[in-house]
Amino acid sequence: MSSNFNITDQQRDYSKYGLSGNPFPYSPVPAENPEIFCGQSHVSEKISSTVSTVLSTGKSKHLVVTGKYGNGKSHTLKYTRSLLRDHDDVIVGYVAQPGEGFLDIYHEFVYDLGFSHLQNLSYEYLASITRECTDESPEGAAEMRSLIDEGDVLLPEIIPEAIRELSDITKFADFARAIVHMIYEDTNLYAWQWLTAEGIRYEQRKEMEIHSALDDDTMGVRAFTALKNMLLDLGYTAVFVFVDEFESIARLSPKYEQATLNSVRHLMDQNSSGLCLLFGCAPEVWQDVMSEYHAFSERIGQEVTLKPLTSDHLYNLIHDYLALERLSAEEETDLRPFTEESLNVILQRSQGNVRQILALCSRLLDDAVDADYDVISTEVVEEAF
């Protein structure tokens, strides 16, 4: 066996610095549900204002968050999503990047909701129909599922009325049939595939009496609007769609780029209530969109920019991360083992880029344990570069 490697599962001891572990991510990619907001107050205020307006008025409002790579756009969108998921009366979907057009945005949004969530929405809608058509009064999806499983509510008694009413609400009969088929064991996977725009065979559509294919941007806008209208009818306040890496539309041909922007514009035009779109986009691409596609950019109207961190931002960020692993509450205000001077060097070398700061702090902390340093001084930081 080669002696060049020293592979071990022994954990490092960070207690010398009052820590139970290294709180910084080794791979500084945004967590799915971030605990710490590493953005800036002017950004959080703008997002809070936009989201609060939608929640309080029910009217649609949209925002684009710009910032250079590594300044925290994805983190900001995911942090906002984690806050909104605590609200029972909204639906939130995250789209990692817009893909080849609006149909990909729709696909990723529904996929982020997930099969179980969409199936529960189907049961929730049937519960509302059951309260209208029978003596039963189920309050939610779980109770509706139980009534069906126990035979207290027979599907033939409610399904025709459910399809009829949902078709009226959504103006899309095929969408209504697909939603209803989410509760049937034999066809729920076909219905899921149709609703996620994955494409199914004609025979499978025929089994559900669905006549159209969900296979282009126009149908994607129609299906999204149908879903949102169903949710508002169920009592939800709004649907939030977070589209990250919007700058990737610049890689599309001009024809497909314009088609994608037109589809998003049509989505906004058709949904003046109950919709909030938040985009994360590189500033140079957003400037191009602003100058070349007025019809799209004017409908968003609002932009907020993530800037490189200042020293105050950096101290707060490092303090918040260290507090995650502090062994005692007395030390939670401490920046140890970092010093303000060493953090200033980190800020200067990283040019305030959040991703680079987190990656460097993670590495420096492990190096400090291995070398048994008392503090991470400016000299230690300088040696790391």
- Residue of 143, 119, 118 whose CA lies nearest to 131: 143
Distances from the Cα of 50 to the Cα of 44, 166, 301, angstroms: 10, 30, 11
Contact in structure between 61 and 53 (CB atoms under 8 Å) = yes
Contact in structure between 86 and 55 (CB atoms under 8 Å) = no
Please list the pLDDT of the chain residue by residue as tens digits (385 residues): 567 787 887 888 999 899 999 999 888 777 778 888 876 889 999 999 999 999 999 999 999 999 988 888 999 999 999 999 889 999 999 999 999 999 999 999 999 999 999 999 999 999 999 999 999 999 999 999 999 999 999 999 999 999 999 999 999 999 999 999 999 999 999 999 999 999 899 999 999 999 999 999 999 999 999 999 999 999 999 999 999 999 999 999 999 999 999 999 999 999 999 999 999 999 999 999 888 888 888 888 799 999 999 999 899 999 989 998 998 876 666 888 999 999 999 999 999 999 999 999 999 999 999 999 999 999 988 887 7
Helices (H) and strands (E) in the chain, counts: 17, 5
Q: What is the 3-state secondary structure (H, E, C) of 259-308?
A: HHHHHHHHHHHHCCECEEEEEEECHHHHHHHHHHCHHHHHHHCCEEECCC
Taking the CA atoms of residue 179, residue 185, residue 189 and residue 194 in that order, the dihedral angle to the nearest 10 degrees is: -30
Q: Distance between CA atoms of 88 and 236, rounded to whole angstroms?
A: 8
The pLDDT of residue 52: 96
The pLDDT of residue 229: 97
Instruction: Enumerate domains of the chain plus CATH numbers.
Output: 41-89+237-306 (3.40.50.300), 115-218 (no CATH), 308-384 (1.10.8)
- Tokens representing 90 are 């909204």
- Residue of 306, 316, 322, 312 whose CA lies nearest to 361: 322
Cis peptide before 30 (omega within 30 of 0): no
The pLDDT of residue 295: 85
For the entire predicted model, the pTM comes to: 0.88
- Tokens representing 166 are 């949902």
Adjacency order of strands within the sheet including 238-243: 90-95, 238-243, 275-281, 63-66, 303-305
The pLDDT of residue 1: 56
The pLDDT of residue 296: 86
Q: What is the DSSP letter of 333?
A: T
The pLDDT of residue 38: 75
Helix ranges, 36-154 (H): 41-57, 73-84, 102-113, 115-133, 141-149
Largest Cα span, the chain: 77
